[in-house]
A and B are shown apart, each in its own frame.
Chain A
Amino acid sequence: MLIIDCPYCGPRDQSEFSNGGEAHVKRPDGSAEIGDREWGEYVFIRANPKGIFYERWVHSHGCRKWFNCVRDTSTDEILKIYKIDEERPKLDSFKNNVKTPSGEPNLGSGNFTVKK
């Protein structure tokens, strides 16, 4: 279970939040012209990396504000939390724990909190 540092309320238990999936998804321009396939990709396809993932959360049982988060999906470690209007942090500013696409990290979920 995660402790999420809401940029407005501070650290709270994950049960107060709802996950909003991938962040920074842009609706394609000219939706009247684009084909079914491109539209389908926008509607149905989201990034699903093992490693660094940009995602949205909403503090549903708190301030009810949306914000963005960078989390390592191989360890569940939260690396950065930033407000919705802040610029997306660069990918190479984070260390990737997974050496191959489906490889395992050295430290599993939660262990980084005690072994780091």
Chain B
Amino acid sequence: MKKKYSIFSIAKNALKGHKDWPKMWRSPEPREFYDVIIIGGGGHGLGTAYYLAKEHGLKNIAVIEKGWLGGGNTGRNTTIIRSNYLWDDSAHLYEHSLKLWENLSTELNYNVMFSQRGVMNLAHNEHDIKEIKRRVSANNLNGIDSIWLSKEEIQKKVPIMNTDNLRYPVLGASYQPRGGTARHDAVAWGFAMRADEMGVDIIQNCEAHQIKTKNGKIEGVETSKGFIRANKVGVVASGHTGVLAETAGIRLPLQSKPLQALVSEPIKPIIDTVVMSSAVHAYVSQSDKGELVIGAGTDSYNSFTQRGGFNIIEETVRAMVELYPVFGKMKMLRQWGGIVDICPDASPIISKCDVEGLFFNCGWGTGGFKATPGSANVFAHTIAKNEAHQINSAFNLDRFASGKLVDEHGAAAVAH
């Protein structure tokens, strides 16, 4: 039955003490065979199952997840959404996603709390100014809203920012008004609920152990709940995609590293946009609860520890306090790390591979959340049609042989 949420259902359930809300999705045992198995129950994986069922009419789909839905990087990011990438290929991919974000709450009838509060990328030196102005122009040529802000305009938007009295003064910024933030769990839950309604089996606590292939074709997935046969398998396991690919004998150009974030104690509204700085490495937004959500960097070494080094936190907090002296005495509440899979060109891989029926959606590195609906949408197309959508055709695995990379190190918020 289609679950509808409205102000009336909230009022009705409030009177009953919120005890009778229906389960948002079933918890089925895996069947023996599926047309498509998606490995990874984060936003990208659940979204892929949703679009496979909705736009490509596939019914026999499973999403298998080692832990719980959205418990990986979907629940660990800083929820920033923007599409101001330099190259045409990336701009089209992230803009496709942003357009889907703009209608996602309505489409899913589930509030993903998408808030278009604008995203600012600061320039701290001459080279930053040139590079960011070039990016603003490139964005405009691709029909993406992006403007250059002077220092005075930044001061007006974010009065608490210290623009002058710091080692790397703020000289200007790019600004994308349609960018913003969203509630990360809600995206996973919304996609999960609607995919479940269309018959997708969402199987949690089911760890993929081995991707099995035979004569260059996919056979299925060996899991902690037994072997499941499949015609097609899509791997969307972020930091663990590389180790899963290895079980099928495929080496991917990925390196897994912890990326850290932290949140402060909640305070009254003080910053109503998202401010990012790649050069001094601090980015911040304020959640609806009032916490400052702060993004830090990646460690220099490979690791799967979901923790990260303290020096990374120190560097970020140092930059934060310099940029916003008013935050100097705040307490930080929580810190965590997520394992991100970084590609040599800081662009994702949404591609088929040498094994027939095996597909990868990975390499999102430090910035995959913003792409959730767009990535899921084109990955579903790639799996259903056995060929890339026009939007993800550049993000294939062949580019690491041809050399036609999509180098987005400049547009990535985290220098890596």
Contacts and interface: CB of A to CB of B under 8 A. Distances in A.
Nearest to A101: B243
**Interface range on chain A: under 10, 10 to 19, 20 to 34, or 35 or more?**
20 to 34
Nearest to A13: B311
Contacts of B237: 102
A101 B209 contact: yes
B186 interface: no
A96 interface: no
Nearest to A57: B301
A48 B254 CA distance: 7
A14 interface: yes
Nearest to B237: A102
A30 interface: no
B402 A102 contact: no
B244 interface: yes
Given A37-B401, A48-B242, A100 B207 contact: yes
B209 A73 contact: no
> Which of B252, B254, B302, B306 gathers most chain A CB within 10 Å?
B302
Contacts of B311: 1, 14-15
Contacts, number: 89
B400 A50 contact: no
A110 B307 contact: yes
A45 B207 contact: no
Contacts of A55: 301-302
A78 to B, nearest CB: 11
Given A14-B309, A100-B209, A101-B247, A40 B255 contact: no
B300 interface: yes
Contact of B251 (A18, A36, A41, A103): A41
A53 B244 CA distance: 16
A106 interface: no
B304 A73 contact: yes
A44 B253 contact: yes
Given A40-B401, A48-B254, A48-B255, A53 B66 contact: no
B59 interface: no
Contacts of A46: 253, 255
Contacts of B210: 101
A71 B247 CA distance: 21
Interface string B349-371: 00000000000000000000000
A6 to B, nearest CB: 15
14 contacts: A1-B309, A1-B310, A1-B311, A19-B300, A50-B240, A73-B256, A73-B305, A101-B209, A101-B210, A101-B240, A101-B244, A102-B66, A109-B303, A109-B305
Which 6 A-B residue pairings sit nearest by Cβ, starting from the closest? Answer: A109-B305, A40-B401, A19-B301, A102-B240, A44-B253, A37-B401
Given A108-B307, A110-B307, 10 more contacts: A21-B302, A48-B255, A55-B301, A73-B303, A76-B307, A101-B246, A102-B207, A102-B243, A108-B305, A109-B306
